[in-house]
């Protein structure tokens, strides 16, 4: 599976979705405490805007050896660190959402172009600095594709606007979710749920 192609495919699907969201939905419910505009802002910030920035920052050493360990690191962080990160993320989501203006689709298309152009210049094994530590480009970008797919799906649900992802993009994202579940110790529970053996607990998440 080509991680560059799946990232670009997810980014284009997100941009297309936003172009079809009715403007009067933007300040309505999005995800949890976020409005839909906040949700779009978070998606831009986490999965598009930071890509050129991160790809330009070399890391001195490999710390996170695979995409699933990126999410596992966040899962295992102390509660105070998680709470601070959530507060900062919410503030950034709102600021970025406001900055998208009244034509968010136009702004998002620009972010997609810059992110994919930067990725085209990066090497698979380049070590870059991420929030979890040094990672290879080929391992970090799938975490950004994951963000795009999950949050674009959230935005689709909140706005009542359909979205479609291609087979490889969905397969990569679902496989990463499954590997993350195994890494954080929830593999058996997820496997039994996927095979109809037992349901997952209420509000279960791998993140």
Instruction: Judge whether 207 lies within some domain.
Output: no
pLDDT for 76 equals 82
pLDDT for 24 equals 95
pLDDT for 158 equals 97
Token pair, residue 66, equals: 């695979």
pLDDT for 79 equals 83
pLDDT tens per residue, range 87-132: 999 999 999 999 999 999 999 999 999 999 999 999 999 999 999 9
Rounded-to-10 torsion of CA 200, 202, 203, 205:
-20
Q: Are 68 and 180 in contact (CB under 8 A)?
A: yes
User: Which three-class secondary structure string do you get for 90-157?
Assistant: HHHHHHHHHHCCCCHHHHHHHHHHHHHHHHHCCCCCCEEEECCEEEEHHHHHHHHHHHHHHHHHHHHH
Q: Label residue 59 by pLDDT band (50, 70, 90).
A: very high
pLDDT for 116 equals 98
Tell me the CATH number at 19: 1.20.120.450
Instruction: Judge whether 24 lies within some domain.
Output: yes
Q: Which pTM was predicted?
A: 0.95
Share of the chain above pLDDT 70, in %: 100
pLDDT for 81 equals 82
3-state secondary structure of 1: coil
Mean pLDDT of 153-166: 98
Domain that holds residue 108: 3-194
- Quote the mean pLDDT of the chain: 96
DSSP 45: I
pLDDT for 86 equals 86
Instruction: Judge whether 188 lies within some domain.
Output: yes
Considering only the C-alpha atoms of the chain, give the largest distance between any 2 of them, rounded to a whole number of Å. Answer: 47
Instruction: Judge whether 103 lies within some domain.
Output: yes
Q: Are 63 and 140 in contact (CB under 8 A)?
A: no
- Is the model's pLDDT at 78 over the cut of 90? no
Instruction: Judge whether 206 lies within some domain.
Output: no
Instruction: Judge whether 205 lies within some domain.
Output: no
Mean pLDDT of 123-142: 97
Mean pLDDT of 149-168: 98
Instruction: Judge whether 147 lies within some domain.
Output: yes
**How would DSSP label each residue in 153-174?**
HHHHHHHT------HHHHHHHH
pLDDT for 85 equals 83
Share of the chain above pLDDT 90, in %: 92
Mean pLDDT of 7-13: 98
Instruction: Judge whether 189 lies within some domain.
Output: yes
pLDDT for 157 equals 98
pLDDT tens per residue, range 36-56: 999 999 999 999 999 999 999
Q: How many independent structural domains does the chain possess?
A: 1
pLDDT for 77 equals 81
């Amino acid at each position: 599976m080509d991680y560059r192609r799946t990232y670009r495919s997810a980014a284009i699907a997100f941009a297309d979705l936003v172009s079809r969201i009715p403007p009067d939905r933007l300040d309505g419910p999005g995800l949890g405490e976020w409005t839909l505009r906040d949700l779009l802002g978070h998606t831009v910030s986490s999965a598009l805007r930071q890509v050129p920035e991160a790809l330009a920052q070399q890391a001195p050493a490999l710390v996170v050896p695979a995409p699933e360990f990126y999410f596992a690191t966040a899962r295992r962080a102390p509660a105070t660190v998680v709470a601070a990160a959530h507060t900062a993320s919410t503030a950034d989501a709102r600021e970025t959402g406001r900055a998208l203006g009244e034509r968010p689709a136009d702004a998002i298309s620009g972010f997609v172009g810059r992110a994919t152009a930067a990725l085209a210049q990066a090497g698979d094994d380049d070590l870059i600095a991420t929030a979890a530590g040094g990672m290879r480009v080929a391992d970090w970008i799938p975490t950004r594709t994951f963000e795009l797919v999950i949050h674009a799906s959230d935005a689709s649900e909140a706005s009542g606007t359909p979205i479609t992802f291609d087979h490889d993009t969905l397969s990569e994202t679902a496989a990463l979710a499954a590997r993350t579940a195994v890494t954080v110790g929830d593999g058996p529970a997820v496997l039994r749920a996927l095979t109809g053996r037992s349901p997952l607990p209420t509000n279960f998440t791998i993140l």
